[in-house]
Amino acid sequence: MATSKDDMEKDLTFRLFEDGDHEYKRIGDDIFNEDKSYKCPTYVHRTPPCQGSCPSGEDIRGWLQIVNGIEKPSGDMSMEEYAFRRSTDANPFPSMMGRVCPAPCQDGCNRNNVEDFVGINSIEQFIGDSAFEHKYTFDNTAPLSGKKIAIIGAGPAGMAAAYQLRRKGHASTIFDDHEELGGMMRYGIPGYRTPRDVLDHECQRIIDMGDVELRMNTRVGKDVSVEQLEKDYDAILWALGCKSGRKLPVPNSDAPNCVSGVAFLEAFNKGTLKVTADKVVCVGGGDTSIDVVSVARRLGKINTLNKEDRPEQVIGGYVAHDSAFAAAREGAKVTLTSLFEREEMTATEHEVHDALHEGVRIDNGVMPIEVVLDDSGRAKILKMAKCKMEDGRPIAVEGTEYEIECDLIVSAIGQGGDLSGGLESLDNGRGLIDADAFYQVPDRKGHFVAGDIIRPHLLTTAIGQASIASDSIDHYLKHEDQKKRPKVDVHHFELLKKLNEASLTPEAYEAEKEGDMRGTDDARYAVHNYEDRSSAEIIASDRLFLGHFPYTPRNKRSSSGPSAEEVLGHFEERGIGLTAEQAVDESGRCMSCGMCFECDNCVIYCPQDAIFRVKKDQHTTGRYVDTDYSKCIGCHICSDVCPTGYIDMAMGDH
């Protein structure tokens, strides 16, 4: 019991200083005595920054170590399948994300402090493509709960939610107003970036788990009411996505040949848009705008195009081009404009490079100021000006105005949701749906939300939100209180799960037999000398011994992208994936931040031979070395030479 204030003031029982103790001493002086201390090594698992930067929360370090051969599967499972199982714990679309994700994980990679990031994207594509080649399937052995969830939207968020829910034993029905699955992966990204055979397989793999019903060409709010869904299903997940593009905020931007980027790409991906205009201008600077201009260069134009076959008629859904148009098309002049200079564009750098290589003109640091119309009311000129940013808003620089002739203007400056036709009550006033920390719709019991309809972002963001929303739905269906989400909210490596997998499960603890043995370092019922801080800490590069890592160039994917002269009609995939040998080699560049990767430095450099390798029959990932505390003098050399930052010197009187 704490000492009361009165007792402390009237009957002092403690003194801060001894008589004669008047000299200041550092705390460290009490800990370190020459080459000895009361600190001994503790093995601490932390989250690497690649995983902390991944909106899907994938165990990136885990599957890199599997590909590299450090973490091995149990039984006769292959490396490729084991890596697939680990990566798809968070994300069921490794082939798609390996191709099109802008890879914030690579920006966060600690290897950037040595020479260059690890090619995480390319290895993920290798894992996904290997799974496609070997036709791996998902585990569907979780017993069914008898509950069923309505999922509105068959894009990355909706499909990922159906996958995660089935893994928890819950059935679902997916409603979508398109003919095919995939959402923005199919209708918002051209097929030469997301090959349709691979996309079809990754979607079908989820459906093949069973108890995932499809209701395609069905618009909720029109073909089926929200009230009916509430009656028929135990919960509803809104994963509508955002497919309403924003128009340019300038005069005359409502001209018929001013269209949105998402509408342009959907018309192309549906196969109805076969040719574009002679002079195309796209305003943007992000990945969507790059897709627009790249598609426009591939489609080309036809000089004798009838008025009723103009691109805006097709994009608006009034007509469809005949495939015969393709035979007569010629190259189009395509310009992309961006508010930002090239190094600040949000589009992925290699995509910008490819667009330039394909003959796209890019004007940087400019903004549109007016659409000029011809006598028929169609856009003929887009007036532009150099711009500067003030308080986050672009301001035109006077005297820098210029004009770009155009037959088609595409706006790729953002997108919003479409909640018309019976879904207006969900609208937060911005065309989106509100979500709380657990991805529940506030004040609507049993309603959950994930993906772009919360706020347009990356495909991987939608997948990560779907995983958390699935957890929330599971708690809701089980009438469980929501648990606070961890500070580092990702799919963590679990040592106990790994020990179970390797048949190294700790023995049962029998209190009456063992007594209070919390200080043990040899009992078989405990996991010794290990602390898991992965849910609270991301390990920074200053905790690593970077001197361990030699300069090693990245294994880059090669590209077969067409030149400006070859781009017309070129719809083959541009990138060429890594071979198995390249993927293994590249994964070896991973520095395994926050987890032992069995380099033996601590064993080699320990002057007391206190650190030793665990016996092979007791060894698994995270349990490669241990410490003999009767020999350890706390010199902290092991911590200094640990490349991964896995060893901390922790207090402990030995």
| DSSP-derived secondary structure for 396-456 | EPTT--EEEE-SEEEE-S-EE---TTT-GGG--SSSS----TTSBPTT-TTEEE-STTTS-
Mean pLDDT of 417-444: 94
Q: How confident is residue 20, by pLDDT bands cut at 50, 70 and 90? A: low
Least confident of 4-8, 105-109, 630-634: 4-8
Beta bridge partners of 334: 280
Q: Is the distance from CB of 459 to CB of 291 less than 8 angstroms? A: no
What is the overall mean pLDDT for the chain?
Answer: 91
Third-level CATH fold of 148-243+417-477: FAD/NAD(P)-binding domain (3.50.50)
Give the Cα separation of 191 and 143 in Å (integer).
Answer: 37
Query: Comparing C-alpha atoms, which of 209, 205, 207, 208 is closest to residue 132?
Result: 205
Three-state secondary-structure class, residue 21: coil
Same fold, 148-243+417-477 and 246-412: yes
Residues 609/631, Cβ–Cβ less than 8 Å: yes
Helices (DSSP H) in 90-188: which residue ranges? 94-100, 104-108, 120-134, 156-167, 184-187
How far is Cα 266 from Cα 291, in angstroms, rounded to an integer?
11
pLDDT at 401 over 90: yes
Question: What CA–CA distances, in Å, run from 309 to 276, 302, 407?
Answer: 10, 10, 13
Mean pLDDT of 263-269: 96
How does pLDDT run across 213-223, given as a tens digit for each residue?
999 999 999 99
| Residue 63's pLDDT band (cuts 50, 70, 90) | very high
235-238 and 148-152 beta bridge pairing: parallel
Amino acid in the structure at residue 513: K
Four-residue CA torsion sign, 587, 589, 592, 593: negative
pLDDT over threshold 80, residue 427: yes
pLDDT digits (tens, 9 = 90+) for 612-646: 999 998 899 999 999 988 898 888 899 999 999 99
> Which residue, 333, 308, 280, is CA-closest to 568?
333
Q: Please give the Cα distance from 264 to 271 (Å, whole number).
A: 11
Asked whether the predicted pLDDT for residue 88 surpasses 90, the reply is yes
pLDDT score at 34: 52
Helical H runs in 419-563?
459-477, 495-501, 511-514
pLDDT at position 26 is 59
pLDDT at 107 over 70: yes
Neighbour-count burial of 290, counting CB atoms closer than 10 A to its CB (0-12 exposed, 13-18 middle, 19+ buried) = buried
Residue 328: CB atoms within 10 Å: 13
Contact 356, 302 (CB under 8 A): no
CB 250 within 8 A of CB 367: no
pLDDT for 510-545, tens place per residue? 777 777 666 666 778 878 788 999 999 999 999 999
The pLDDT value recorded for residue 653 is: 46
Residue type, 71: E
CA dist 194 and 192 (Å) reads 6
Q: Are 248 and 436 in contact (CB under 8 A)?
A: no
pTM: 0.91
The CA–CA distances, whole Å, from 308 to 21, 311, 523 equal 96, 9, 81
- Confidence grade of residue 51 (pLDDT, cut at 50, 70, 90): very high
Listed by start position, the domains of the chain span 43-135+493-651, 148-243+417-477, 246-412
The CATH homologous superfamily to which domain 246-412 belongs is FAD/NAD(P)-binding domain (3.50.50.60)
In sequence order, what are the beta bridge partners of 651? 39
Rg of the chain (C-alpha set): 29
Lookup: tokens for 189: 């990204």
Is there a contact between 337 and 304 (Cβ–Cβ < 8 Å)? no
Burial of 605 (0-12, 13-18, 19+ CB in 10 A): middle
Average pLDDT over residues 91-99: 97
Predicted local confidence at residue 74, as pLDDT: 85
- With contact defined as beta carbons under 8 Å apart, do 155 and 134 qualify? no
pLDDT at 27 over 70: no
DSSP 480: P
Position 3 scores a pLDDT of 43
d(CA 311, CA 328): 15
DSSP class of 244: E
Closest CA to 413 of 292, 313, 314, 310: 292
* Res 22: pLDDT: 64
pLDDT at 21 over 70: no
What is the share, in percent, of the chain residues with pLDDT greater than 70? 93
Tokens of 357: 């290589």
pLDDT for 226 beyond 70: yes
- Assign 19 a pLDDT band (cuts: 50, 70, 90): low
Q: What is the pLDDT of residue 509?
A: 79
According to DSSP, residue 189 is labeled S
- Distance CA(580)–CA(221), nearest Å, equals 48
Q: Residue holding tokens 């979607």?
A: 203
